[in-house]
Structure 1
C-alpha cells in the first residue's frame, strides 16, 4: 500500500441522549403536550397498548414492540389503554444534528414505527438503555457514546426517509406490495408487519387491499408464494428439507414442515414421494 495522508473534514456529529426514563402507566393515564418541547423524545412500548396522536396526524393504536416520536415544537397526545395500559421507556434527544438525523429517517412521516423487534436498531436501543442505567465511568460513557452513534446509524439505515405510499392510488399500492412479497419471500425477515412498515399503512388497510384484489389475506398470499416454491423444489431437486426451508424463507426445517403440511395436507416427504 502506498503512503497516504488525508484530512478528515468535519467528522463530528453532535447528537446525544439528554434524558431517559421508564414508566408503567395506569389505565387511561394520558400525556398532553400543549407546551412545545425543546427536544425530540422517543418512546418504545415494552408492554401493553395505548393511543397516540401528534399535530397533523391521525390518532393510531400502538402496542408492545412499537415506537413513537414526540417531535420538538409539536403538540401531541398519548394515552394508555384502560384494560391493558402500556409500559414504555423513553429517550430525550438533543444536539445540533439531531433534527437532520431524524429527518433522514422515516419517523417524521407518521411519527411512529410498528414492530421494530427484528432490527439492529431495536437491539442497539435496548443495549443503549441498559448502559444508560449503569454507574457512570469513563468506560461506560465511551460505550454510551458509541451506542448512541450506532442507534442513529441504524435508525437511518433500516428506516430511511421515503414518502408515505398511502397517498398513491390503491392499485399502485397493491402492486408495490405484491412486488415486495414476490421479491423477498425467500428472506425469513419478510413478513406482513415489515411490509406494513415499508408501505406506511396499517395491517387492516393492507388486508382490505388484498381482499379486494386477490380475495385472500396478505399472510396467505405470502404463504402461497413460499409453499408453491417449496413444491417445485421438492419435485425438481434433491435438496434436503433444511435446504428447501431456507430457500423459501423459513429459519428451520420443523417450522417449514408444519406449514407445508397445513398448506398441502401432506408432509414434504410424502409430497416428494408421490
Structure 2
C-alpha cells in the first residue's frame, strides 16, 4: 500500500443527549405543546396507544412500536388513549448539528415513524437507553457517545429523506415495490415498513395497490416469495434448517419454521420428508 496522508475536514459533529426518561401515562393524559421546546425530543411508544399532532400536519394515532419527534421551536401536542394509555421513553437531543442530522432523514417530514421494531435504528435506540440508565463512568460516557452516533447513522441510512414519489403513476409505484421485494426478500431487514419508507407512501396505500394488482397484501406477497424459495431449498438441497432460514430472509430457524408451517400446513422437516 502506498504511503498516505489526508486531512479530515469538519471531523466534529455537535450533537448529544441532554436528558432522557420514561413514563406510563394516565388515561387521556395530555401534553400541551404551546411552550416551544429548545431541544429535539424523540419519543418511542413502548406500549399502548395515543394521538400526536404537530404543526402543519394532521393528527395521527400512534401505538406500540411507533416513534415520534417533537422538534425544537415547533408546536406539538400528544395525548394518551383513554382505554389503553401509552407508555413511552424519550431522549432529548441538543447541539448545533442535531437539526441537520434529523433533516437528512425523512422523520421531520411528518415527525413520526411507524413500526420501527425490525430496524437497526430501533436496536440501537434500545441499547442506548439501557446504557443511559447505567452508572456514569468514563467508559459509560464513551459508549453513550458511540451509540448516539450509531443511532443517527441508522436513522439516516434506514429512513433517508427521499423526495415524495406520490406523483409517480400507481402502476410504476407498484412495479418499484415488486422489484424491491423480488430483489431483497432474502435480506432479513426487508419488510413492508421499510418498503413504505422507500416509496414515501402509507401502509394502507401500499396495501390497496397490492390488492388491486395481485389480490393479496404486500405482506403475503413477501411471505410467498420467501416460502416458495424455501420449498425449493428444502427439496433440492441438503442445507439444514438454519441455512435454509438464512437464505430466505429469516434470522433464526425457529421463526422460519413457524412461518413455514403457517404457510404450508406442515413443518419444514415434514415437507422435506425427514
TM-score range, shorter chain: 0.7 to 0.9
Provide closer, same or farther for how the CA distance between residues 207 and 86 of structure 1 changes in structure 2, counting only shifts above 3 A: same
Q: How many residues align structurally?
A: 273
CA drift at 1:68? 0.6
CA distance in 1: counterparts of 2:238 and 2:130, whole angstroms: 47
CA distance in 2: counterparts of 1:31 and 1:63, whole angstroms: 16
Q: Is the 8 A contact 1:109 1:163 kept in 2?
A: no
Q: Is the 8 A contact 1:114 1:197 kept in 2?
A: no
CA drift at 1:162? 1.0
Q: Check if 1:18 corresponds to 2:18.
A: yes
Stretches of structure 2 lacking an aligned partner (at least 5 in a row):
none
CA drift at 1:4? 4.9
Per the alignment, residue 229 of structure 1 pairs with: 229
CA distance in 1: counterparts of 2:71 and 2:24, whole angstroms: 22
CA drift at 1:67? 0.9
Per the alignment, residue 101 of structure 2 pairs with: 101
CA distance in 2: counterparts of 1:152 and 1:11, whole angstroms: 16
Q: Is the 8 A contact 2:162 2:200 kept in 1?
A: no
Per the alignment, residue 143 of structure 2 pairs with: 143
CA distance in 2: counterparts of 1:144 and 1:261, whole angstroms: 42
Q: Is the 8 A contact 2:28 2:79 kept in 1?
A: yes
Provide closer, same or farther for how the CA distance between residues 92 and 259 of structure 1 changes in structure 2, counting only shifts above 3 A: closer
TM-score (norm 2): 0.87
CA distance in 2: counterparts of 1:215 and 1:179, whole angstroms: 17
Stretches of structure 1 lacking an aligned partner (at least 5 in a row):
none
Per the alignment, residue 215 of structure 1 pairs with: 215
Q: Which moved more, 1:245-254 or 1:151-160?
A: 245-254
> 1:81-100, aligned counterparts within 5 Å?
81-100=81-100
Q: Which moved more, 1:17-26 or 1:225-234?
A: 225-234
CA RMSD of aligned residues (A): 2.5
Per the alignment, residue 175 of structure 1 pairs with: 175
Provide closer, same or farther for how the CA distance between residues 3 and 263 of structure 1 changes in structure 2, counting only shifts above 3 A: closer
Per the alignment, residue 158 of structure 1 pairs with: 158
> 1:42-57, aligned counterparts within 5 Å?
42-57=42-57
Q: Check if 1:243 corresponds to 2:249.
A: no
Q: Which moved more, 1:122-131 or 1:69-78?
A: 122-131
CA distance in 2: counterparts of 1:115 and 1:236, whole angstroms: 36
CA distance in 2: counterparts of 1:143 and 1:252, whole angstroms: 28
Provide closer, same or farther for how the CA distance between residues 23 and 175 of structure 1 changes in structure 2, counting only shifts above 3 A: same
